[in-house]
Amino acid sequence: MTFHVAEKHAGLFEQVERRFRLLLSRNVVTGITETQFDKWLSNLVTDEEQYLGARLLENLTFRSEPMVGSAIGHILECILPSELRRSGAAVRSVDEFVASLRSPGMGRLVRFVEVDDPKGRTPGKSGALVMRELHRLGGVDKSLTCLPENIGTLPKAVKCLVFVDDMLGTGTQFKAFCDKYKLEQEAANRTLIYCPLAAFHTGLDHLATECPWMKVCPVEQFGEQHRFFRGDANKPEMWAVDQVNTVADVRQFVEDLCKSHGIRAAGDYALELLLGFHHATPNNTLPIMYAQTATWNNLLIR
């Protein structure tokens, strides 16, 4: 049987639509306008497409502006003081430490480093956006930031480099970034901390093996249970989301829908996640959520 809407799930689309509109109206979801939402819904014509849309929205993990602000606060107030203390740095008061990050001072022991694309395809895109939020929502002074190519010019007084990013996926891109800027050499003299807002478990495993000298401290962790095309634990061939359709049928339906609208194929979906931030969308998220073509309207911004 091909992808279909089971009788018990009739009406799900209307329920999910109402809930999402409520989140928009109450500003629980920020960065998406109701007009954007309406345009994205207009993509979904058939009952099957609307059912798919409902399941996509249900499984979407979206971090609004206040949530991103809280994540940055967690990095500044919890992760960094703890890791610096473990490395032997004298961080007596969290309040004093955070205050020191919010005022100019070239002598500070910490620098925040922007993570760029090591292949130069989208230079600094995600890292630059998170760095902007670090300034805007976290209040970190711009004098404490550094481009990766300038690490070698930093004074010896800088004892810690903090790398900020939105998402750690497979870990291969960040490993290439580390190789490009010879960060293992820096680890001999400084504490290196990578703080992505989110991380997938395979990426964490990869960096633990390939870059053991880098402390990786994500704010949130994601695993197999967050993949959209995940199978049921007891019946792996069945789609865990509804236990009615098979994983193969769901995947084929999405691939056909994307192909008909000029959206890139499922083979490029990487981790098949549904994760969005108010400021951007990681490339590990299904393109059906952020793609914009002549016949398809985006919900999220890339």
Instruction: Quote the tokens at residue 258.
Output: 């994307």
CA nearest 174: which of 142, 198, 140?
198
Q: Distances in Å between the alpha carbon of 104 and those of 128, 178, 224, 237?
A: 20, 28, 42, 56
Is 70 exceeded by the pLDDT of residue 121? Answer: no
Lowest mean pLDDT among 1-15, 18-32, 46-60, 256-270: 256-270
The tens digit of pLDDT for each residue in 14-46 reads 999 999 999 999 989 988 999 999 999 999 999
Assess contact for 117 and 81: CB atoms under 8 A: no
Residue type, 41: L
Region 148-159: mean pLDDT is 91
The tens digit of pLDDT for each residue in 169-190 reads 999 999 999 999 999 999 999 9
Coil vs helix vs strand at 22? helix
CB atoms under 10 Å from CB of 98, counted, come to 17
- What does pLDDT average to over the chain? 91
CA nearest 250: which of 61, 62, 59, 42?
59
Is 90 exceeded by the pLDDT of residue 203? Answer: yes
Please tell me the distance from the alpha carbon of residue 72 to that of residue 196, in angstroms, as a whole number. Answer: 10
CB atoms under 10 Å from CB of 241, counted, come to 18
> Bigger pLDDT: 273 or 87?
273
The confidence band for 191, taking pLDDT boundaries of 50, 70 and 90, is: very high
**Where do the domains of the chain lie, and which CATH numbers do they carry?**
12-62+229-283 (no CATH), 65-222 (3.40.50)
Residue by residue, DSSP assigns 135-165 as HHTT---GGGEE-GGGGGGS-TT--EEEEEE
The tens digit of pLDDT for each residue in 57-90 reads 999 999 999 999 999 999 999 999 999 888 877 7
What is the Cα Rg of the chain in Å? 21
For residue 113, what are the β-bridge partners?
A: 146, 163
CA nearest 219: which of 264, 167, 145?
167
Residue type, 38: D
Please tell me the distance from the alpha carbon of residue 2 to that of residue 214, in angstroms, as a whole number. Answer: 46
Please report the beta strands in 201-291, taking only residues with DSSP state E, as ranges in sequence order.
Answer: 215-216, 220-222, 275-277
Assess contact for 229 and 248: CB atoms under 8 A: no
| Euclidean distance between the first and the last CA atom of the chain, given in angstroms as a whole number | 34
> Bigger pLDDT: 125 or 140?
140
